[in-house]
Amino acid sequence: MMRQAGRFLPQYRALRARHDFLTLCKTPSLAAEVTAQPVDILGVDAAIVFADILLVPEAMGVALRFARGDGPQLEPPVRSSADLDKLSRPDVARSLGYVFETVAEVRRALGTRVPVIGFAGTPWTVAAYLVEGGAAKSFHHLLGWSHRDPAGLARLLARIAEVTHDYLLGQIEAGAQALQLFDTWGGLLDPERFRTLALPALLRALEGLSGRVPLIYYGRGTSHLLPLLRELPIEVLSVDWRLPLDVVRAQIGPRQVLQGNLDPAALLAPPVQIERAVRALVAAGSGGPHIINLGHGMLPMTPVEHACAFVEAAKTHGRCSVPARAR
């Protein structure tokens, strides 16, 4: 249920009341506890390591803080080629080793119950926050730079991609059994500019990882990019809810594993309606292998019993829809 699966749980909120967000991320015992909560409480069939995509730019020398009500803030922002000197090339084992420790601790704690999924942001999405200095509405600094000096922005993306690659590799070596890359802001670009600007850095981040563990790419608002995304060296393409799954399947083909597609707001409906929504999703995804999931993160007001109803419906109605060759 995306990487925010546990953040609406009372058990997570109890921990969050005692520790700030970055302390949770950087303390392996706490991060491992949060990672396991959705497995223990909801019964999901994979654990996604608890961390944040902005730990990568922090490791590159940018100050990161989370202001209550304002989201992440990165200082100083990087908004031109001249600003690239602000960034360092970190030793990820030293600067991000706490995430690797979390992965290893989760593997030990969960044993063979469920697989552990590592994750990172794509270079483009990480750059979106780094250039804007945090969350944004228009992304005018990022998009302005992409038109004004695309070669300069490409150098920033390449720098992020190098660190992201090392970070993903470190998660594999720590025990991650799959990796998911989140491209929350890939949909800001038209197909040609995605191909020439964002895609090379994404491919560099994934270089040499294909075949080691299954790779999952998630894009939000990227339906117009499907002809490009179907060529990625990945095992699973995770999609949002804006395009019906059977329409996605028609563009992607029958062999590609798809994931997601249920609107997170569907879990605000009564459990009987959640079950109907899952059954409809299974039917729409019947044209090929499909992992039932949400199309974006859990909404914070989702009732726990509704999340449980979603998991139960997925397990009840989803298993028979998977072709034998894809199991």
94-138 residue pLDDT tens: 999 999 999 999 999 999 999 999 999 999 999 999 999 999 999
**Residues classed as catalytic:** 3, 7, 16, 52, 129
The b/e string for 31-45 (b: 16+ C-beta within 10 A; e otherwise) is bbbbbbbbbebbebe
Residue range 58-71: mean pLDDT, rounded: 89
Q: How confident is the model at residue 255 (pLDDT cuts 50, 70, 90)?
A: very high
- Position 5 scores a pLDDT of 62
Percentage of the residues of the chain whose pLDDT score is greater than 90: 91
Distances (CA, A) of 214 to 45, 168, 237: 15, 12, 11
The pLDDT assigned to 318 comes to 87
Could you tell me if 126 and 153 are in contact, meaning their C-beta atoms sit under 8 angstroms apart? Answer: no
Helix (H) / strand (E) containing 284: helix 271-284
pLDDT level of residue 4 (50, 70, 90 thresholds): low
Element (H, E) at 120: strand 116-121
- Position 322 pLDDT exceeds 50: no
Q: Given a cut of 70, is residue 3 above it in pLDDT?
A: no
- pLDDT of 325 over the 60 cut: no
CA distance 33 to 288: 35
Domains of the chain, each with CATH number or no CATH: 10-239 (3.20.20.210)
**Predicted confidence (pLDDT) per residue in 267-319, tens digit:** 999 999 999 999 999 999 999 999 999 999 999 899 999 999 999 999 999 87
Give the model's confidence band at 323: pLDDT under 50 very low, under 70 low, under 90 confident, else very high: very low
- pLDDT of amino acid 272: 98
